[in-house]
Every structure is written in structure tokens, then in C-alpha cells.
A = this chain, B = another copy of it.
Amino acid sequence: MTVQICKGAFDPWQSIQTHQRDNLTDGQYGATATFVGTMRDFNEGDDVCAMTLEHYPGMTESQLEEIIAESKAQWPLQDALIVHRVGEMHPGEPIVLVACWSAHRAAAFDACRFLMEALKSRAPFWKKETLHDNSHRWVEKNTDGYSSH
């Protein structure tokens, strides 16, 4: 169960492979559910050219560890990994990775989505967008995670 805060760009697919190699045993897990959030070049109808992610060192990590502990209590997980970028970033760059490993798929799917929703509602991160006219604005709230039809 690992939480990482990255000050520079990270490759989520590399993070998954490295974590899997170092922490999991081949043949013991049957299901890996992952989610990667990537910076878009549009939001709320405007073009966005850069973003700065602020966090609360100490509290952010402990909140992420707490939500992982909650997921372990609820589902039979073999492992979970959360990586979150902070600092300045640009469109196309990964912001967050959540990965869950379990024997069967239901637990991996459920836990991955739970972690992502819990992270977005409880972990202290804040996004500030830079628009094309070089103006800045704080993102005020996250989009709904359950209405997609």
C-alpha cells in the first residue's frame, strides 16, 4: 500500500509496472483496476494552457493513507497504489494514478473507484489554471464522479 506525491512529471504505466514488480507475486493476483487522470487543454468551456497543483504536505499523505486503509477494510485487496502530481504541469501530463490489485475483478473495480472518489472529495489538493490570456483561476469544485450518461 503506497502513496507517492510527485513534484515532477511521472509515467503512470511505468509506476504500475515498477510497483507490481517490487510488491506483488506473480500468480497471486488476478485483477488489476487502474485509473489515470490526465490534464486536459479545456475546462468549463475555456482553453487551459497550464495548471499548478498545490497540496498540504503531511495532511495530504495522511489522508491518502487513510482512504487506502478504508478500502482495505472494505475489500479483499492485495495491494493499492496512489501517485499524485503537484506543482506546475501542462496538458497531456498525468495528474493522478490509482491502481488496485485483487484476486477477483469486483474488488479491484470497486476499490479503484472508491479510492478515486475519496481522493477527489477528501485529499487536500487544489488546482489553479492558467488560461491563454495568462490569467489564472482556482478550480472551485470537482465534476461529479457518477453521472456519465
On chain A, the number of residues with a Cβ less than 8 Å from chain B's Cβ atoms is 45
A28 CB, min distance to chain B CBs, angstroms: 7
Cα–Cα, bound, A15→B62 (Å) = 34
A143 surroundings in chain B (CB, below 8 A): 104-106
Cα–Cα, bound, A144→B103 (Å) = 12
Cα–Cα, bound, A31→B13 (Å) = 14
Residues of A63-91 whose CB lies within 8 A of B: 74-76, 91
**Which of B13, B32, B42, B112 meets A38, CB within 8 Å?**
B32
Q: Smallest CB-CB separation from A29: which chain B residue? A: B38
Q: Does A54 contact B (CB under 8 A)?
A: no
**Which of B27, B108, B110 meets A41, CB within 8 Å?**
B27
Q: Does A145 contact B (CB under 8 A)?
A: yes
Cα–Cα, bound, A91→B27 (Å) = 5
The 6 closest A-B pairs by CB, nearest first: A26-B92, A27-B41, A106-B148, A27-B91, A107-B148, A13-B13
Q: What 7 new A-B contacts, CB under 8 Å, besides A30-B38, A106-B145, A106-B148?
A: A13-B16, A30-B37, A32-B38, A34-B36, A102-B148, A109-B112, A110-B148
